[in-house]
Amino acid sequence: MYEPGRSWLHRADPRLKLALAVSIAVVLLSYNNVVFMLLALALTVGTLRLAGISGQRLKAIWTILLPVAVLIPVLWPVFYHSGPVLLTWWKLKLTAWAVAQGIAASARVVTLGFLSAAVLLTTDMRALLRGLVHLGLPYQGALTVTISISYIPRIQRTFEQVTEAQMARGFDLSSGGFLGRARARIPVLVAALVSTFRSAETLSRALECRGFGRTDARRTSLYEIHWRPTDTRIAVACGLVIVVLLSIRFATGFGAHPLLPR
């Protein structure tokens, strides 16, 4: 998933990026205000664009997030009925707060998606691996995490290839009702899972053959990461903003309501 570049986000230490992503996620989960959430989304996407991530790549991520982004605001009014009523239809009551809360929740999920993408798109897997190890994760665990992330595009490709193979045998995956189409996916799902498990097994054996899992010798690293003074400056600046935002939220109650300031 990594898209090489020389932006400040690319050059930042992976530990800093992980810490920032977690802290920002905490802020996002603390706030409910729709305006705040939309601003956070715009800021995240803007930062990724400024970091040189192509619009095409951002569009691809947006396509993955789209079903969830649409489903949340659609379903929210079904379960949330507080606030001024905008519309009543059959047994459904659409309130202003439900609409705002739905949009805010949707924007939060999408922002969290782009936030994770910000780490993965701007961090070389070797750097992320070293970052996780320096944060205290055992090497085996860190490697498992980074390999899993690296495999996402590969699994996606496997699904595409399996879909093509089943279509080539005459299976129509695009027509029929929802249930029919879901049933039509079974051959794709089974073949893709078998294929993925098989390659996972092959990979684990290949790693073992290359000495992975040896514990009788101290592991050295060809690739190393270094914390720079710029990382400290970014950490301080962002840390201050995050502390201020959390203080405002919990000291004044600002941002707790989906539509009103407090």
Residues forming contacts to another protein in the complex (CB under 8 A) are 56, 158, 161-162, 164-172, 174, 186-188, 190-191, 194-195, 198
CB of 175 to another protein, least distance (A): 8
User: Which residue number, 59 or 214, has a Cβ lying nearer to another protein?
Assistant: 59
How far apart (Å, rounded) are the C-alpha atoms in residues 15 and 165?
Answer: 42
- The residue (of 164 and 208) whose beta carbon lies closer to another protein is 164
Could you give the residue ranges of the DSSP H alpha helices within 51-185?
55-79, 96-122, 125-134, 139-168, 178-184
At residue 87, φ and ψ (nearest 5 deg) are: -160, 140
For the beta carbon of residue 186, count every other beta carbon within 10 angstroms: 10
Task: Compute the least distance from the CB of residue 117 to another protein, in Å.
Answer: 19
Q: Which CB sits closer to another protein, 198 or 233? A: 198
Q: Which is nearer to another protein, 169 or 226 (CB)?
A: 169
CA 8/CA 58 separation, integer angstroms? 18
Q: How far is the CB of 58 from another protein (least distance, A)?
A: 15
Residue 114 C-beta: closest distance to another protein, Å: 21
What six digits make up the tokens of 122?
């701007």
**Cα 246 from Cα 239, distance rounded (Å):** 11
